[in-house]
Amino acid sequence: MPFYIVLSRNVFFTEDDEIRPETLELIERVKGTDIFIAIMSRKLGTYKGLVDQLLGDGHQVMFTDRNNWYKDQGVNRKQILFVGAVKQDMWIAANNKALLINPLWLDNVEDEIEEYGFALESPSQLIECIEILTLEPVAFVNEKISPKSKLIAISNANKYYKLTPKNNEMIYKYTGILKYNKDLHLYALYFHYLTLIINNDDFDNIDYWMTFPSSSGKNENAIYSIAKNTRYLFKNRYKDEILIRHTPAQKSTSIDSAKRIEQGAGRHFNTLNLNPNYKGKLSGKRIVVLDDFVTNGSSFESARNLLEEQGVKEIIFLAIGTFKKLYQYEVYELQGNVFQEGYSYECRKAKFLNFNYDDSALAVTEKIYDILNSHK
């Protein structure tokens, strides 16, 4: 399947109408591949002549205007990646629901690109991301939890689960990103995540993309950044989180495994409530709740009970990784106003769910390892 990197004029050329060194690097890197470079501008005649003059005959640069050109070419928006520098580029990418890249190799990118574009440091990273994005979209777990909810886990997080050294290395990298804010390979994790959501029709009509709040309640982690970029990609205008951590909670990693199972979802209700801004707005909605890792499911179960009580149509719990533990399904009776702290809760039912795992997802993770190491 071909892939198209669309560069705005300011990304392709310098102010003196010279082709940027990074653009030349991109053009060289895509030779002999199914990745094509296109320049986007209102003055295509002028820049086509300039490119022909600078690159000579036989170059593979395409030319496109700022309209929905890809529809006329039979190109799916999922095959396009915009690299922009000015706010008009952001609007074009948003209107086409296409990925927008913030090129950190430029020093004159406008604020809108910095805010909404996914930052990449170099053309080499850009090529790596495209190679990841074209991998087979496979989830390690895709299972029903209740009639209105299901769990999708993109990858394995358990290094003791019959893994190769490459899998273990990727678990180490992803854990560093999600738990310790080491963003060196955030781009690899993000595009691994994108392989799944942009190739799955279930995600095309989501009303709210939300995160499960961290134990501190602060929205300063990689998961929040991923959710923010996803909202932009799907033109989802709702930015306020649905779930609010009104009081810091004890970190899951500091609680004994048996104690976590005993406490279940109940340990979250004392510190968690729904955002009052969504009161009366959740019934019939489709919601994604994004989190880093799922162990026994207590975080997701607290969210599921709160949201299903509000009459949501469907909840997709989306985790980057799973530790391959038994999922503890729990049904709670909630009393009081769940849009503020102080409501009461009582567990009425609990049982363990044993999921199936798709080991072909492990091969995808290995391929990402190979991609990251092939460009060194």
Sketch the domain layout of the chain as residue ranges.
3-133, 141-353
Nearest CA to 130 among 182, 80, 77, 58?
80
Q: Please provide the CATH number assigned to the domain covering 141-353.
A: 3.40.50
Burial of 19 (0-12, 13-18, 19+ CB in 10 A): middle
CA dist., res. 335 & res. 331, Å (int):
13
List the beta strands (DSSP E) in 137-207.
141-146, 149-156
Q: How many CA atoms lie within 13 A of 65 on its CB side?
A: 8
Q: Does the fold of domain 141-353 match that of domain 3-133?
A: yes
Residue 312's nearest CA partner among 142, 143, 149 is: 149
User: Residue 236: pLDDT band by 50, 70, 90 thresholds?
Assistant: confident
Q: Which two tokens stand for residue 192?
A: 């691994």
Q: How does pLDDT run across 19-41, given as a tens digit for each residue?
A: 999 999 999 999 888 898 989 88
Q: How confident is the model at residue 146 (pLDDT cuts 50, 70, 90)?
A: very high
pLDDT in tens, 356-365: 999 999 999 9
Residue 197 has pLDDT above 70, yes or no: yes
pLDDT in tens, 241-251: 999 999 999 88
HSE of 343, CA atoms in CB hemisphere, 13 A: 22
User: Mean pLDDT for the chain?
Assistant: 92
Q: Sorting pLDDT into bands at 50, 70 and 90, what band is 67?
A: low
CA distance 297 to 141: 13
**71-128 pLDDT tens trace:** 656 677 778 899 999 999 998 888 878 899 999 999 989 999 999 999 999 999 999 9
In this predicted structure, the answer to whether residue 44 has a pLDDT above a threshold of 80 is: no
Residue partners of 53: CB distance under 8 A and separation at least 6: none
**Is 123 within 8 Å of 105 (Cβ atoms)?**
yes
Q: How many CA atoms lie within 13 A of 188 on its CB side?
A: 28
φ, ψ dihedrals at 136, nearest 5°: -65, 130
How far is residue 374's CA from residue 376's CA, in Å, rounded to a whole number?
Answer: 6
**Residue 189 clears pLDDT 80, i.e. is over it:** yes
More confident residue, 34 or 278: 278
In this prediction, residues 147-156 reach a mean pLDDT of 97
CATH number of the domain located at residue range(s) 3-133 in this protein: 3.40.50.1000
Overall average pLDDT of the 4-27 stretch: 92
Predicted local distance difference test score (pLDDT) of residue 62: 85
